[in-house]
Chains A and B, each alone.
Chain A
Amino acid sequence: DAKTTQPPSMDCAEGRAANLPCNHSTISGNEYVYWYRQIHSQGPQYIIHGLKNNETNEMASLIITEDRKSSTLILPHATLRDTAVYYCIVRDPQGGSEKLVFGKGTKLTVNP
């Protein structure tokens, strides 16, 4: 089972920041937080990942709390094309298993 909890759905206005929360209260010290998204039954797409420091790339920012029990994915200026299901996944990249365990994710709808 997924080790994360996410709200099932969120709405955001186009051009505004979308802040997607994720709880991972049982995360272990070696586990990273990964975010993927899936646009309308396409293959999941990697967005960003982090261990404990905040991370930013061209797609998004990832804010991880100091206790690492939760995180927030930030899309700074959401567009209609960002409408998708967003998955928060915790995984130890040096652990025994390479698989990704997907939960139900958050369905983000960006409205015009």
Chain B
Amino acid sequence: EPEVTQTPSHQVTQMGQEVILRCVPISNHLYFYWYRQILGQKVEFLVSFYNNEISEKSEIFDDQFSVERPDGSNFTLKIRSTKLEDSAMYFCATHRDRGSDTQYFGPGTRLTVL
């Protein structure tokens, strides 16, 4: 069964540094998402991306965050200047088309900001 992959599995960074989290979506999927989960808390939506542009974003997704598909396969989340409170699991999710039944989630990247 095709699956979403994410790299790295764990990223440790110093506060104020930039990080890029990478996701490889399932090949024929067109809609892409980032969610995050702070330890012990709910899974929270960050942003959705379709046709090379952001279609929806949450209040969490401020100017420090950006997303892109640099090469038509990878889908990336960049945090420009990390803060301690950015420490969380970040999940990429994809689905095939609008109204599609299922979002497929990747295994996540654990981001630790020191």
A interface vs B, CB < 8 Å?
Answer: 38, 41-46, 49, 87, 93-94, 97-104
Contacts and interface: CB of A to CB of B under 8 A. Distances in A.
B65 interface: no
21 contacts: A41-B89, A42-B108, A43-B4, A43-B93, A44-B91, A46-B101, A46-B102, A46-B103, A87-B43, A98-B56, A98-B98, A99-B33, A99-B45, A100-B35, A100-B43, A100-B45, A100-B103, A101-B45, A102-B42, A102-B43, A104-B42
Contacts of B43: 38, 44, 87, 100, 102
Q: Which 8 A-B pairs have the closest CB atoms?
A: A43-B105, A102-B43, A99-B45, A93-B99, A46-B102, A44-B105, A43-B91, A102-B42
B75 interface: no
Contacts of A49: 101-102
Nearest to A44: B105
Interface of B: 4, 31, 33, 35, 37, 42-45, 48, 55-56, 58, 89, 91, 93, 95, 98-108
A97 B101 CA distance: 13
A51 to B, nearest CB: 11
A61 B11 CA distance: 38
A56 to B, nearest CB: 15
B108 A99 contact: no
What DSSP secondary structure best describes chain B's contact surface?
strand
Nearest to B3: A43
A85 to B, nearest CB: 9
Contacts of A46: 101-104
A6 B45 CA distance: 20
B42 A103 contact: yes
Contacts of B100: 93
Nearest to B106: A43
Nearest to B31: A98
